[in-house]
Structure 1
């Protein structure tokens, strides 16, 4: 006789918000942050040397996602020019620091 499975939406929701899932999300975000810090360029002759590298942060919550129903962790950079570093401008090439860090950090 084949096995039967009946999914419990409540149970899946509890799993997605569980401390274990939240800890794993935070671990992956911290790994991604450390890779981003190592990839961050520093312009020693610029007006804010090292600000971009020092501005990386991680935050975690058990109620994240579009529906606020799962554990999430977010890596961000608070430097005012972080967007330009990531995506570039018409005069400055894109560095894609967070993209590259997420690609490497997600595998570890």
Structure 2
């Protein structure tokens, strides 16, 4: 006869806030960041800031409210501090969208 399992919601909460989970969130964020850096476009001739977008990626772990309980949990965050990053990601009427973060998350989020 199989033993019965009774889940401890307090124990699950402690596990989700553990350094082990925070470390895994940071590992995944850094993996996505490294892919984003590798596929980032670099401006050509005439670009006043060549390579700045590529150098502006960051990865970190923040504690954010998630789920229905809204309890704070470690969350991996990947971003780009260049003010024009949104235009590189989504494009404009003159510049095509590059979707760097989207593609990096698809490839590196494993």
Q: TM-score, normalised by structure 1?
A: 0.89
The 3-state SS of whatever aligns with 2:77 is strand
Q: Matched residues in 1 for 2:3 and 2:18: separation?
A: 27
Per the alignment, residue 79 of structure 1 pairs with 82
Q: How does 1:1-108 map to 2 (within 5 A)?
A: 1-45=1-45, 46-61=47-62, 63-66=63-66, 67-107=70-110
CA-CA distance at 1:65 after TM superposition: 3.6
Structure 1 segments of 4+ aligned residues over 3 angstroms from their partners:
none
User: In the TM superposition, what is the alpha-carbon distance from 1:2 to its structure 2 partner?
Assistant: 4.6
Where structure 1 has 5 or more consecutive residues not aligned to the other structure, the ranges are: none
CA distance in 2, matches of 1:87, 1:3: 52
Q: Deviations over 1:57-96 (max 9, x none)?
A: 11213x3243243211100001011001111112221100
| Contact in 2 for aligned 1:86/1:98 (Cα 8 Å) | yes
5+ residue gaps in structure 2?
Answer: none
Aligned length: 106
Change (3 A) 1:50 1:60: same
1:6 positional shift: 2.1
What secondary structure does 2:33 align onto? helix
What value does the CA root-mean-square deviation take over the aligned residues? 1.4
